[in-house]
Structure 1
Amino acid sequence: MTPELREFLLEHGFPLDDPDAPGANGLTPLMRAAKLGRIELIDPLLAHGARVEVLNQDGCNALWLACYHGDPALVRKLVAVGAPIDQQNGNGASCLMYVSSNGKAELVEVLLELGADPTLKNFDDWTALDLAASPGCLRALRKLRP
């Protein structure tokens, strides 16, 4: 374990011996690092045994929290190490739906480039295109329509 990872775990109240232990708000160390944009901690956390498929109480994984933070490099990193890109949370919303509904056009484009499924529907039967909250998101998603 790197000194930086040890400091991060202790600072956020995580045990040193359980890389997937949920902390505040049900976030694991990997989720917390993603939410804070701490891309430099991703590899050390994975080497420590953190799993990218773990979900919090809302059905969100670390990729969701990376989308919340908004760093495209972090999103790319998590997808590259196997984070499920189309994980749907407890409301049936995917990361693509989340970034689209929050006007994060750059992340819409990144997720589409990485293979996110724009045809998924949430529990209200809405797709990311239906939820588009900005012209940039709308343009990115409309490019996919015939």
Structure 2
Amino acid sequence: MDTATAATALSDATRQWMIEWGFNPDQPAATGQYQDTPLIRAARNGDATITLELLALGPQACALNHRNMDGTNALWAAVVANSLDVAEQLLAAGIDIDNLNDNGASVLMYASSSGKAPWVQYLLEAGADSSAETLDGFTALDLAANIHCLKLLKAAR
């Protein structure tokens, strides 16, 4: 779907939401503050309804794999927000589960280092690469913040 067609496909509620967050509803893939797209903002808010509507525009029109100023994508934002619904939608749409941010960290590494064991398990089950390394050579296992994350990652080896 091209951008012009995509913009007209948005509901009035989503268009209003975009305006409230400083986005132009006629350009759903355009970036705003921190180089976030509307999709990243919706994921960070844990807003499954807006996320689903943006994803329905198609991967290019919603900038599915866009990386913000830190190099993180919408999946990372969904995990920060603890929004399983949004994460499932993003993964179903084909978001890069192994995107590495500007420090070489993946969302699995973030979840592990934050002690978010349920997310570690979820991401591993979804196919996240547990062998990826940061720029300093650390893996999600090296960064595990608690015993639960450590056990999950050891089992994944």
TM-score, normalised to structure 1, is 0.94
Q: Which of structure 1's runs of 4+ aligned residues deviate more than 6 A?
A: none
**CA distance in 2 between partners of 1:19 and 1:57 (Å):** 18
Q: Which residue of 1 aligns with 2:26?
A: 17
Once the two structures are aligned, what percentage of the paired residues are identical?
A: 43
Alignment gaps of 5+ in structure 2: 1-9
CA contact (8 A) 2:133 2:139 kept: yes
Code of the aligned partner of 1:37? G
Establish whether residue 107 from structure 1 lines up as the match of residue 122 from structure 2. Answer: no
Alpha-carbon deviations, 1:54-95, whole Å to 9, x = none?
A: 111111111111111112222122111111000001000001
Alignment gaps of 5+ in structure 1: none
CA contact (8 A) 2:52 2:89 kept: no
Establish whether residue 5 from structure 1 lines up as the match of residue 8 from structure 2. Answer: no
Corresponding residue SS for 2:66: coil
TM-score, normalised to structure 2, is 0.88
**CA distance in 2 between partners of 1:122 and 1:116 (Å):** 14
CA contact (8 A) 2:37 2:63 kept: no
Establish whether residue 27 from structure 1 lines up as the match of residue 39 from structure 2. Answer: no
Q: Which residue of 2 aligns with 1:58?
A: 70
**CA distance in 1 between partners of 2:83 and 2:146 (Å):** 18
Question: Aligned-pair distance for 1:118?
Answer: 0.1
State the aligned residue count.
Answer: 145
CA contact (8 A) 1:96 1:128 kept: yes
